Structure 1
Amino acid sequence: MATPFRKSLRAKEQPCVEPAAVPCDFCTGTQLKAVKSCLGCFMSYCQTHLEPHQRVARLKTHQLVEPMDRLEDRMCKKHDRLLELFCKTEQVSVCQFCTETDHKSNPIVPLKEEYEVKMAQLEKIASDVQQMIKDRKQKIKEIKDTVELSKKDAEREIADGVQVLTALKQSIEKCQDDLNQMVKEKLKSTVKQAEGLIKEIEQEIEDLTFGSSEVKQLSHTKDHLHFLQAFRSLKNPPPTRDWTTVEVRPPSYVGTLRRSLDQLEETLNMEMKKLCDAELKRVQQYEVDVTLDPDTAHPKLILSEDGKQVHHGDVVKKLPDNPKRFTMHIFVLTMQSFSSGRFYFEVQVKDKTGWCLGVARESIARKGQITVTPETGYWNIFKNKDELIFRDNTAVRLPLRAELQKVGVFVDYDEGLLSFYDVEARVHVTSAIGCTFSEPLYPFLCPGNNDYKGDNSAPLIISPVNQTD
């Protein structure tokens, strides 16, 4: 009678072992969940098997704790005591006796306290890992977006190219048709004139031939009376044209092909203007906000408070000796530099007769005389009165546009591309390709010296981009 009762009581007291619970070490068959662990026995007990520890005097002296698995690992091997403390110096778990011997001088904290510290660290690590995963997923998205954007850019570039080249092809075909038509019409007019003259000459020949036969017949007459009577009635030769001054001039085709090519050039220029306008709109999307760095400015330069304007001040200011400052060339760099990607900025050059602007690498020489070329780290264009020059290793003179008022500068660092644009006219000025950019690049400006009459005193102004529709 007692056995079924105990089984029934056991089933009511404790459920079977759950996945995260500590099982009873004494249960046979189905193990029940332990309610206490004994640090004297190194065993865990369910409510039923715990009963002797509550009844037997010797067992009552054992230390009971909340259920723990792997009890032997929780005991100090040296002192046979529970590892319930933590040595922060040696980062190991210790018992109470350890704190009085080997770890006496070390900072000791309860396991729970260290657990909470380490758990906080673990949570941070987990959070950092999740953030790293998130960042990498974001990077994957960025890469995919870049690929997708590249595909769209490629499709647009192909479409624009097809449109331009198709227009040129049609223009060439039209020029060819117009040229053929013009030449044929000139030839047709010449042929028609020649045919009319030939017909007129042939008619005169026919009339002269008829009169010649009468003359020939009369010339064979021996009768004097008849001859004289017939000669009196003989008709005079028909009037004829003086053909000595008449000529058929071959048509002149001088200038015909050139005029056709002029028309083609006009069409090409129109298409180029459309293309440059679209190109400028694209590069303007990479606008960056840059301000001039007073620590780099030559002592004669005067900068505006917002760092957007610079002009020559004639007077050398007394400034701190800064290794970044230019001492001979009247240059100034921006505070911002760029080491990758694409960037674009615009500079107003209106009302100036001389100036220089572009980009320079970080390691450029700034003291004394400087050779301003790509080889020494400068990529720029230079305006001096009636000349516009691209400062390559060999200076390249460019067509000077009288209306040049604002210059756009675009750099694709990774592609090694640098381009200059006439912003107001919406045209491309020049480009340098295959550049080697291996250091941070700084936009730089040079307003030039003031002319004797102050003609070049206007400032260079870094202007916000005004994108047109």
Structure 2
Amino acid sequence: MACANISWPEEDFVCSICLDVFYRPVSTPCGHNFCRTCIEMFWEKQVQFKCPVCNKLFCKRPDLRINYLLTELSAQMRTCAQAKEQPCVQPSEVPCDVCTGTQLMAVKSCLVCLISYCHTHLEPHQRVTGLKRHQLVNPMRCLQDRICKKHDRLLELYCKTDQVCVCQFCTEGDHKNHPVAPLKEEHDVQMAKLKTMESEVKQMIQERQRKIQEIKDIVNFSKEDAEREIADGAQVLHSLMLYIEKYRDDFNQIVKYKLDSTVRRAEGLVKELEQEIGDLNNRSSEVSQLSHIEDHLHFFQTFRSQKKPPHTRDWTKVEVRPQQFVGTLRRSLDQLEEPLNMELKRLCDAVELERVQQYEVNVTLDPETAHPKLVLSEMGNKYTMEVYARKSETTLRDSHTI
């Protein structure tokens, strides 16, 4: 409602008792105006009925007459005052459906009237007994969607069969014999289901978060275990490489020694053979010269002076056999096998008895089924388990006292 252009001063519209703008103003026989509630409460506290302004006495409680002109003017004054305090509706807010001209922001919507009201126009719903029974909700748009398109009645029931909102007339037609319930009742039922569903979803989320954390913990443990294994493996392999390099050097020295022995013997025999060949070549030259002498006397004289044939070895039994190195390699590997086996045994022992991990496990013992001699911690709900990793299987040993 637009503010009226009132030229009278504001003091003329103020009740002299409450000092506020008239609310439901009434006039006394002496012509003064008061709020109905103010004057009635004033007379209830007085022994005599008199006017609070002029102190005129009345023989009996006078009949109060409604001042309609002052009521309208006071209402306009109140509307203008509230309009100054109350902001205008914003695009994202619900406007008052009653305001004309400048629309104010609605503070409530009536599901019976299907109208949204600002503070000023909501006043009758807070004062009139019949309107007080109307259901008021936070401001909402499209209230016409709450009306049944077929019967032009309020949608106040819920059809459980078709799962739609219906009016009272719908239950006598298309939804006859269908189970229906008031919207509020069904709303409470569905809200309870939603809360249960929300709780279940949260539980499922927590379970999956725990599973994610479990997987991450396993991955982290695997990374740490892999790093430890790589470090241990590097140390063991380094030791093995030192052993192998040592025996490689020893093997090379043995092979070279055997080769050098064969070469030295062969060179000695070749040198001796070359010496004999030289001696035999000299003897051959002498024999050739002797064969060309024709003088018989000179021949025999020369022949007798010839030295005896040079001494030579019987080379038919002398031989140089090639050196066999396969046995050397085998013997070296046999010597390497023992330290390798010792190192592997030490490694297997280290893997077989890995580091001990302790876990605290929450347990709840059934007094009817639990072992009578089982003793838990002081808290009564924990015990310690030591986990030993032995190759591919895990042995659990309880550390409780029996």
Could you say whether these structures have the same fold, taking a TM-score greater than 0.5 normalized by the shorter chain as the test? Answer: no
TM-score w.r.t. the length of structure 2 is: 0.44
TM-score w.r.t. the length of structure 1 is: 0.39
Higher relative contact order (CA 8 A, sep 6+): 1
Structure with higher helix content = 2
